[in-house]
Each structure stands twice: as C-alpha cells, then as structure tokens.
C-alpha cells in the first residue's frame, strides 16, 4: 500500500500481482501516440508500464491523496492528471480515438459503463477490469440467467469480449470476489440504427424491471399487445428471451408510431 490507507467509499482494491499487470498491459497493447486514458490509476500499477510503452497517459483520479502521489512521480509531459469523479467527467474534452483503461471500482461499474457509452463516437476501445459477475452479464446471450439490461444496452453499442479472469489474491486489500478483464470496441458502421435512444433505454429497462413479467405486462405503460405484434414481438414472451435486434426493432417501431 506504500503507506496509503484504502478508502472503502472509493471502492479501492489495488492490483498488485506483476503477472496480471503484465497480462493486462499486453492485452491493451499500447503504442506511442495512443490517446490512452486511465480511470482510477490508484498506486500506478498499470500507469507505469502503460506510460513506458505509450509515452504519455491521461488519468482520472478522484482520491486527492493518490492524485498528489501521481503528480510527484510523473511529470506533466508523461501524465496529464484530472482530479475528478469519472462518473461526471466529460470525456469529450480528451479528444478522439480514446483508449480507456482501468481497474474499475465494483460499486460504480455499471453506471460508469453507461456513462462511457455516451462517448462512443470518440472511443477506440475500452479495456477494464470488473467484478467477474458483471462481466458475465455484459457478454450474456438471450435466454441465459445473466442476460439483462446491461447485456442489451452494451451489446447494442459495443462488441464485448471477456479476455481472462483475475483472482482476488491479485489485489491488495483482497476483495471478496474474483474479477475479469473485458474489452469493448464500438460497433461503428455495424451498430444498429436506433431512432430514439432514450425510448430504447426505457423499453429495455422496463423489459427487465421484473424478469418474470411478459412483454405485454412489462411494457404496458409504453405500448399495447397490438403494437408488440406489429413489431413481430410475441406479447407473451419475456424480455430475457429477446435478442438485441428484437429490442432495436421494437424501439424503432414505437418511435415511428410516436
């Protein structure tokens, strides 16, 4: 810990195993000139090798004590430091082709992924470490237990790939859960056209709000059975059985009706 007392309110568990640090950096494969952005650099376990390969890194750190340590260790020409909350940070200010990396706090992982998705046009890729169960939900397929709102919302924007697991013992302090590293790459031209992103989000949230509800009941505030049938959606189906393309088609049909 180098004298630092981990703060629970920031969800601080620091990666300390050199083997997994090297595997993550190799998976990112940073190159000179990359627009790298690290969320939560902490004690700089990833920061150091990333800067060695890329030459420069931007970092967002909410903990002022850790930010002060980072500022002492790295000159501005190597590290551009933003002392801020990543959940509120405007990533649009960092330029194009962003390569986001980080060991994300478990307590904000889903909200932070949704926040990053807002900047998809500026993203080259995202490599983050998350709780293993969260990664399972991110990559889940329809009609599987882990498939849900997070799966649909992310897969409508990104190609999501689980890279490898990281055991709890690789961290200090040791968390109660295992982690996994995941890569997200924007779909770009392959992204489905969504006429009304806000409506799409409401439909997906409602469909998984109570998983046992049929689409007819779950979406009763948004449409009726006839509208579902017109979009080729079985009103008796549950949201967990629908593919991302089904949700897109339904959202676009309802947007057209509106």
Domain ranges in the chain are 8-190, 197-257
Q: Phi and psi (nearest 5°) for 131?
A: -55, 135
Tokens 């405007």 belong to residue: 90
- Over residues 168-190, the pLDDT tens digits come to 989 877 777 899 999 999 999 99
Q: Where are the alpha helices (DSSP H) in 74-196?
A: 109-117, 132-139, 149-155
Q: What is the 3-state secondary structure (H, E, C) of 38-79?
A: EECCCCCCCHHHHHHHHCCEEEEECCHHHHHHHHHHCCCCCE
Q: What architecture is the 8-190 domain classified under in CATH? A: 3-Layer(aba) Sandwich (3.40)
pLDDT band at 8 (very low <50, low <70, confident <90, very high): low
Average pLDDT over residues 113-135: 96
Flag whether pLDDT at 73 surpasses 70. yes
pLDDT band at 13 (very low <50, low <70, confident <90, very high): confident
Q: Are 103 and 6 a contacting pair, CB within 8 Å? A: no
CA nearest to 43, candidates 25, 65, 75: 65
Q: What tokens does 41 get?
A: 């650099």
- pLDDT value of position 176: 79
Q: What architecture is the 197-257 domain classified under in CATH? A: Orthogonal Bundle (1.10)
Of 10-19, 99-108, 193-202, 204-213, which range is least confident? 10-19
Flag whether pLDDT at 9 surpasses 50. no
Evaluated on CA atoms 191, 195, 198, 202, the torsion sign reads negative
pTM for this structure?
0.92
């Amino acid at each position: 810990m180098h004298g630092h007392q981990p703060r629970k309110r920031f969800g601080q568990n620091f990666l300390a195993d050199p083997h997994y640090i090297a595997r993550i950096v190799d998976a990112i494969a940073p190159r000179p000139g990359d627009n790298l952005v690290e969320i939560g650099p902490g004690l700089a376990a990833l920061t150091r090798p990333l800067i060695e390969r890329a030459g420069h890194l931007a970092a967002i750190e909410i903990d002022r004590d850790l930010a002060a340590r980072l500022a002492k260790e790295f000159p501005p020409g190597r590290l551009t430091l933003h002392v801020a909350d990543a959940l509120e940070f405007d990533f649009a200010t960092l330029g194009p082709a962003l390569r986001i990396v980080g060991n994300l706090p478990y307590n904000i992982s889903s909200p932070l992924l949704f926040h990053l998705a807002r900047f998809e046009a500026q993203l080259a890729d995202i490599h983050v470490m998350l709780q293993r169960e969260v990664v399972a939900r991110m990559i889940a397929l329809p009609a599987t237990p882990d498939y849900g709102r997070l799966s649909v919302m992310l897969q409508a924007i990104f190609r999501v790939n689980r890279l490898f697991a990281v055991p709890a013992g690789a961290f200090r302090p040791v968390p109660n859960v295992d982690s996994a590293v995941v890569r997200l790459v924007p779909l770009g031209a392959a992204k489905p056209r969504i006429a009304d992103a806000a409506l799409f989000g409401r439909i997906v949230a409602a469909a998984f709000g109570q998983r046992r509800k049929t689409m007819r009941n779950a979406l009763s505030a948004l449409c009726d059975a006839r509208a579902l049938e017109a979009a080729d959606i079985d009103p008796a189906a549950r949201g967990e059985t629908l593919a991302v393309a089904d949700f897109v088609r339904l959202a676009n049909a309802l947007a057209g009706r509106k």
